[in-house]
A and B are shown apart, each in its own frame.
Chain A
Amino acid sequence: MTTTAAELREKPAKGKSNSDLIPGLAMGGAAFLLITLFVIGPFFAGIWYSFTNQRLISPNPTEFVGLRNYTRLLKLSVLPLEPLVDEASGEFLRDEEGNLVYPRSREFTRDAENYPQYAGLREWFNIDWGTTRYVILAGDPIFMRSLVNNFFFALVVIPLQTGIGLLLAVMVNQGIPGQNFFRTMFFAPVVTSMVVVATVWRYLYDVNNGLINEMLGSLTFGAIGSINWLGDPRVAMWAIIIMSVWQGAGFQMMLFVAGLQQIPEDLYEAAGIDGANGWQKFWNVTLPGLRNVMVFNFIIITIAAFQLFDQVLVMTNGGPDNATSTVIFHMFRVGFREQDIAYASTIAVVFFLIILFINFIQRRVTMEGGS
């Protein structure tokens, strides 16, 4: 095969290229045009906008503003705070619970005259070290929070969804009666629109009358009180993760089923003759046989995880307290609700670079593993 392909490639160099070029371009023309118009064009427009002050609707002319948007988005700084001291006794002030009292970081970030280095920054989070409190300031703490949320979501969802997909695939590939029914059932959420699924789950998650709380309550005889799934910052992201995995695992299952059916039966027989038990067959035959599917699934879930948006928009609107805000959601909020297209483009460009980097790493890891 490779030699013929090489021959084919060399042939047109002898002057045949011109006659191939025109029909080639003509046939590809529609696709080239559409791709240029809707993919390549917006891609470069986005990069350009990120260096301007472009608005969605505005009578003001678009101006080049250099790196202003990038500074606002990415600027980080550390502000060390010392606890307040009681002037009379010279000791640290303490509140009712005995905690040290610190000045508000806003007193520094809003005081551009005395602390120009902190101007325009806001508190992201803080770390206590001894009596000093280090406040990490960010130009756009919501973006930082969203980025962290995105990574958290991806880190939990990737193994969980791959694992559950594999489990389901093995289950529905055993030749048990009714397996087509189960395959269909597990796959049904995948083909349902995410907006529909999310709307339904919002009712399931309802804190007072939701089915999930009712079920947990009756299964544990009331030991688990009602959980405020979408209203509590600590659990809201988990609620979205559970629902997303439920929705997406069926797709991984289908790919794994296809992979399982490609593994030759002889290998299992050979392993059986060598005295391997079920576990050993799974570890030494099934998993290596699924390697390519696994890599493929891994990449797909990673991309989907970083695109997290629909569920957030429908179920939580990024809240509570930005606990479920994601980068794409933040971009949407800035670009459409506040009409700041330039800043939204900047977020898009930065996010693109981050995803590019992750995919690059993934590629390196999976390629090395293969050789």
Chain B
Amino acid sequence: MQFRRIPQWIIVCLLIGAALIAGCSTPNQSAQPAAESAAEPATETTAPQAAPQESSAETTGKVQLGLWTHSAGNPDELAVIQEWVNRYNASQDQYEITIEAFPQASYNDSVAAAAVAGSLPCIIDLDAPTVPNFAWSGYIQPLPLTEADVAEMGVLSADVGRYNGQIYSLGQFDVALNIFARKSVLEQYGIRVPTLDEPWTKDEFMAALDALKASGEFEYPLDVNAGYTGEWWAYAYSPWLQSFGGDLIDRSTYLTAEGVLNGPEAVAFGEWFQSLFSEGYAPATPADDQGFLQGRIALWYTGSWAAQTVVDAYGDDALFLPPPDFGHGPKIGAGSWQMGVTTNCSPEATPGAVEFVISTMSPENIALMSEASSLIPTTRAAAALTEDYKPGGRFEIFYDMAERFAVVRPETPGYLTISNQFEQALLKIRDGGNVQDALDDAVDAINQDIEDNGGYGFK
């Protein structure tokens, strides 16, 4: 066997390959935003903004603290966090905090890896549903706060990260789920505009969908973003389940989902959910989430992060409606990014870290974030300082919804499995599967997971 000269075309191929690989940085896989943080475009460019805290052993004699945030892709939000840190650093001379920012797409992986490796900084921000898991694993420490303290601060209850009776984290912003609609469309079809005190009942809601469907003016009456994947399903649809009277897990013990996620109320929810797609009320796999904005779909069930876009599209015609009351009042999901203190924080640095986290909850600091990101501030006092959420402000209704209808996602370390199983079950239901079977499957998997993990600390 003899070797020939490498043909030119192979070289050309290799060169093209190299160019392509160099040209394509890691693509952003998630086409749709994560439920909690959709307001933040997941750009992937910004490098860490500050030097790692370990290297900045300065001669000032201050105790150095690190802070990790997921906001690298969102300059506005990062600037606010930097401002909080600047304010805190200037307010005292004992501690000095430095920020390290990560792109959101890889943030959770970085934190989990750092946790296992024991190299977490003092302060991290965490997505609300992951807080109990980190607390149970012993990676974050309880804050020295009581329920009375947070009540006095006036924080929306859902934006306090709790696990097993202790408080671990505090959130400065949140979003609210609602139904976007157009006043002109509702008027045209004689549909009552629901209010927070008098939301649509299930029958009213279905009658409205029927009227919109019968009009023939729209491809579908309703878009529920059923094409999203991941956390969206539990975040957006478990509130409906709760409004029907079911829940993801029995919250009195956190040890079983039996009878709650597969009881008659849950089955009623599942059958109704299935009918949304089988009866043609909502697209099961919408290609994008522009249907409402382009006028192809009449109603849009999504988070308040889209409010500005909707106002841009429809101006004064835009309506923000509470979700329907399916029997147990309207419910919406709650809990966004929150800040906590890790167990990796040294005893001399911990008081500073705790102090900083509490300082971010001052009305001024919360208002600063809300102004920059347009997200819901988590205290009434902060809301009063913002243009959009102050009494009479154009987005005030979202604060009211968060206050009145929010149900926090189950505060158990097992939530990851619950969320995944709930999504699997609803996907089966959406695609026409047997409702009771799908929910039973989810219950079995959730209960097995709880048992495998020794009750997740609740036994």
- Neighbour of B16 across the interface among A191, A208, A314, CB < 8 A: A191
Cα–Cα distance between A56 and B31 once the two chains are bound (Å): 27
CB distance from A207 to the nearest CB of B (A): 6
B116 x A106 contact (CB < 8 A): no
CB-CB contacts below 8 Å: B1-31 with A: 1, 4, 8-10, 12-14, 16-18, 20-21, 24, 26-27, 29, 31
CB distance from B258 to the nearest CB of A (A): 9
A313 x B229 contact (CB < 8 A): no
Taking A209-B287, A261-B4, A338-B416 as contacts, is the C-beta distance between A233 and B431 under 8 angstroms? yes
Contacts of B139 in A (CB 8 A): 57
CB distance from B341 to the nearest CB of A (A): 18
Answer whether residue A133 sits at the interface, using C-beta atoms and an 8 A cutoff: no
- Neighbour of A338 across the interface among B18, B115, B420, CB < 8 A: B420
> How big is chain A's contact interface, by range?
35 or more
CB-CB contacts below 8 Å: A29-61 with B: 53, 55-60
Contacts of A262 in B (CB 8 A): 1
Cα–Cα distance between A120 and B447 once the two chains are bound (Å): 11
Cα–Cα distance between A192 and B29 once the two chains are bound (Å): 16
Answer whether residue A131 sits at the interface, using C-beta atoms and an 8 A cutoff: no
- The interface bits of chain B over 442-459 (1 if a CB of A lies within 8 angstroms of the residue's CB, else 0) are 001000110011100100
Cα–Cα distance between A60 and B136 once the two chains are bound (Å): 10
A339 x B444 contact (CB < 8 A): no
Interface of A is mostly: loop
A104 x B27 contact (CB < 8 A): no
Contacts of B428 in A (CB 8 A): 321
A110 x B427 contact (CB < 8 A): no
Answer whether residue A180 sits at the interface, using C-beta atoms and an 8 A cutoff: yes
Taking A184-B16, A337-B420, A339-B416 as contacts, is the C-beta distance between A122 and B441 under 8 angstroms? yes
Stretch at the interface among B93-101, B167-175, B432-440: B432-440
Contacts of B16 in A (CB 8 A): 184, 187-188, 191
CB distance from B335 to the nearest CB of A (A): 19
- Complex: chain B residue closest to A193, CB-CB: B24
Taking A319-B427, A337-B416, A338-B420 as contacts, is the C-beta distance between A58 and B453 under 8 angstroms? yes
Answer whether residue A228 sits at the interface, using C-beta atoms and an 8 A cutoff: yes
Contacts of A321 in B (CB 8 A): 427-428, 431, 433
Cα–Cα distance between A106 and B452 once the two chains are bound (Å): 22
- Complex: chain B residue closest to A182, CB-CB: B9
B21 x A55 contact (CB < 8 A): no
Contacts of A56 in B (CB 8 A): 112
Answer whether residue B358 sits at the interface, using C-beta atoms and an 8 A cutoff: no
CB distance from B288 to the nearest CB of A (A): 9
Answer whether residue B138 sits at the interface, using C-beta atoms and an 8 A cutoff: yes
A104 x B436 contact (CB < 8 A): yes
CB-CB contacts below 8 Å: A100-137 with B: 104, 106, 110, 120, 122-123
CB distance from A33 to the nearest CB of B (A): 20
A195 x B29 contact (CB < 8 A): yes
Cα–Cα distance between A188 and B138 once the two chains are bound (Å): 49
- Neighbour of A57 across the interface among B14, B116, B285, CB < 8 A: B116
Contacts of B146 in A (CB 8 A): none
CB distance from A284 to the nearest CB of B (A): 22
- Complex: chain B residue closest to A180, CB-CB: B9
Taking A59-B137, A319-B427 as contacts, is the C-beta distance between A206 and B287 under 8 angstroms? yes
Cα–Cα distance between A207 and B219 once the two chains are bound (Å): 15
- Complex: chain A residue closest to B434, CB-CB: A104
Answer whether residue A231 sits at the interface, using C-beta atoms and an 8 A cutoff: yes
> How big is chain B's contact interface, by range?
35 or more
- Neighbour of B285 across the interface among A122, A193, A195, A207, CB < 8 A: A207
Answer whether residue B37 sits at the interface, using C-beta atoms and an 8 A cutoff: no
B17 x A191 contact (CB < 8 A): yes
- CB within 8 Å: A-B pair count: 106
CB distance from B90 to the nearest CB of A (A): 36
B1 x A60 contact (CB < 8 A): no
- Complex: chain A residue closest to B219, CB-CB: A208
Contacts of A104 in B (CB 8 A): 434, 436-437
Contacts of B136 in A (CB 8 A): 58-59
Taking A207-B285, A321-B428 as contacts, is the C-beta distance between A184 and B12 under 8 angstroms? yes
CB-CB contacts below 8 Å: A146-205 with B: 180, 183-184, 187-188, 190-193, 195-196, 199, 202
CB distance from B148 to the nearest CB of A (A): 29
- The interface bits of chain A over 314-349 (1 if a CB of B lies within 8 angstroms of the residue's CB, else 0) are 100101110000000000010001111000000000
Cα–Cα distance between A337 and B229 once the two chains are bound (Å): 13
A180 x B8 contact (CB < 8 A): yes
- Complex: chain A residue closest to B18, CB-CB: A191
Contacts of B29 in A (CB 8 A): 195, 199, 313-314
Answer whether residue B293 sits at the interface, using C-beta atoms and an 8 A cutoff: no
CB distance from A330 to the nearest CB of B (A): 12
Cα–Cα distance between A254 and B9 once the two chains are bound (Å): 10
CB distance from B447 to the nearest CB of A (A): 11
CB distance from B42 to the nearest CB of A (A): 14
Contacts of B416 in A (CB 8 A): 337-339
Contacts of B8 in A (CB 8 A): 180
Contacts of A254 in B (CB 8 A): 10, 13
- Neighbour of B453 across the interface among A55, A314, A333, CB < 8 A: A55
- Complex: chain A residue closest to B17, CB-CB: A191
- Complex: chain B residue closest to A105, CB-CB: B437
- Neighbour of A191 across the interface among B20, B116, B284, B453, CB < 8 A: B20
Answer whether residue B133 sits at the interface, using C-beta atoms and an 8 A cutoff: yes
B431 x A320 contact (CB < 8 A): yes
Cα–Cα distance between A339 and B130 once the two chains are bound (Å): 12
Contacts of A60 in B (CB 8 A): 453-454
A120 x B21 contact (CB < 8 A): no
Contacts of B134 in A (CB 8 A): 57
Cα–Cα distance between A338 and B420 once the two chains are bound (Å): 7
Contacts of A187 in B (CB 8 A): 13, 16
CB distance from A157 to the nearest CB of B (A): 22
B137 x A57 contact (CB < 8 A): yes
- Complex: chain B residue closest to A333, CB-CB: B420
Closest 7 CB pairs of A and B: A191-B17, A231-B285, A180-B9, A187-B13, A183-B9, A57-B137, A208-B287
In the assembled complex, 21 residue pairs joining A and B whose CB atoms fall closer than 8 Å, in A order, are A58-B137, A59-B137, A59-B138, A59-B457, A110-B444, A122-B444, A180-B9, A180-B12, A187-B13, A190-B17, A191-B16, A191-B20, A196-B20, A196-B24, A207-B287, A209-B287, A262-B1, A320-B427, A321-B433, A339-B416, A340-B452
A positions within 8 Å CB-CB of B: 53, 55-60, 104, 106, 110, 120, 122-123, 180, 183-184, 187-188, 190-193, 195-196, 199, 202, 206-209, 228, 230-231, 233, 254, 261-262, 313-314, 317, 319-321, 333, 337-340
18 further A-B pairs in the complex, CB-CB below 8 A; given A184-B9, A206-B287: A57-B115, A106-B436, A110-B440, A183-B13, A184-B12, A188-B13, A191-B14, A191-B20, A191-B21, A193-B24, A199-B27, A230-B285, A231-B284, A233-B431, A261-B4, A317-B229, A337-B416, A338-B449
